Amino acid sequence: MKIMQIELIDTFLDLCETKSFNRTAERLGVTQSTVSGRVRSLEASVGVKLFQRSRSGTALTTQGLRFEPHARSLRHDWVTAKNAAQDTALAGVTMRIGIQHDLVGIDIKALIGRLREILPDTAFLLEADYSIQMCSDLIIGKQDIAILYSPQIQPDLYFETLGDVRYVMVSTQADALAAVRKETYILANYSTSFANAHAALLPDLTHVSLSIGQNAAMVDLLTSLSGTAYVLEHSAKALVAAGVCQKVMDAPTVDQSVFVGVNVRNRHRAAYRKLIKTLHEQYPSQQAHGRARLERPGLSDSNGPSGQKP
């Protein structure tokens, strides 16, 4: 497949999402006339009209709707093939795994050991990232599997709930909520669901002067500054053991759901099912009472029929 043909497919798929020639031109960094030219070229290649333009906007024709899933498959196959070729000696046996930044510090040695045990002939490339980027990489084939907090519902992606991780409040100043000072409170913004739950549980501590979105950075701030914040449970235990912080005893704990995502084309492949099964063992559900569990609506637990296709 020629590079120009890939550009036509990319433009088509972006336009399916934006439904705007202007917006697609902005996102791809080209002119609107270039977008129009690519659409015309693609329509000439397939021999049908793919988009209908009107005053109300741009919409797929019936033929365009039929073509869209095949276009997604073409792009995914192209990126997968290119990545395999670039792996040289490791071509075909490299598994690219995206992992939420905060999860890197949770028993990563055990995870790597499990991966090597179930797929001994596979090389693993682990990359820490945020959910939105990982979902984008899954769609185009830059990543094979992702462990993340915030699934982005897309036709190409399949998600399962793995389990959850716990965040607890610690402080260098207070051991009770009543003593927490708003001016030294550091607001955690680890995911959209975390932010929403925090606002519901602790509305008086939502509007503060400092916020951060990564557990490791939060630990550094608490170590270097005085204050109060939510951190992962294992980080809280370490801070308390080191005498840096104390646990805010009456603060609610928050359990953040962890998900695994794959491209729908891979969900039934044996290697991916082995990986997903192993990830369920890595991130078990918390069992404490009175927890606030954060999970995206519409995504089922994998203890029954696993996950769902968006």
Percent of the chain at pLDDT above 90? Answer: 58
* For residue 92, pLDDT beyond 90: no
Q: Looking at the domain assignment, is residue 309 inside a domain?
A: no
30-39, 68-77, 144-153, range with the lowest pLDDT? 68-77
How many domains does the chain divide into? 3
Q: Which of 66, 86, 106 is the last residue of a domain?
A: 86
Same domain, 153 and 203: no
Q: Please give the pLDDT value at position 82.
A: 67
Enter the pTM of the model. Answer: 0.69
Q: Looking at the domain assignment, is residue 123 inside a domain?
A: yes
Q: Please give the pLDDT value at position 27.
A: 84
Q: Which amino acid is at 146?
A: A
Residue 65 CA to chain centroid, in angstroms? 27
* For residue 7, pLDDT beyond 70: yes
What's the mean pLDDT in 97-104?
A: 94
Structural domain including 274 reads 91-164+257-294
Give the count of beta carbons closer than 10 Å to the beta carbon of residue 13. 19
Q: Which of 277, 272, 190 is nearest to 229 (CA)?
A: 190
Split at pLDDT 50, 70, 90, the class of 306 is very low
Tell me what the pLDDT averaged over the chain comes to.
85
Please give the Cα distance from 130 to 102 (Å, whole number). Answer: 9
Q: Looking at the domain assignment, is residue 304 inside a domain?
A: no
What's the mean pLDDT in 85-111?
A: 77
Q: Which of 210, 214, 201 is nearest to 228 (CA)?
A: 210
Split at pLDDT 50, 70, 90, the class of 84 is low
Same domain, 140 and 96: yes
Q: Looking at the domain assignment, is residue 234 inside a domain?
A: yes
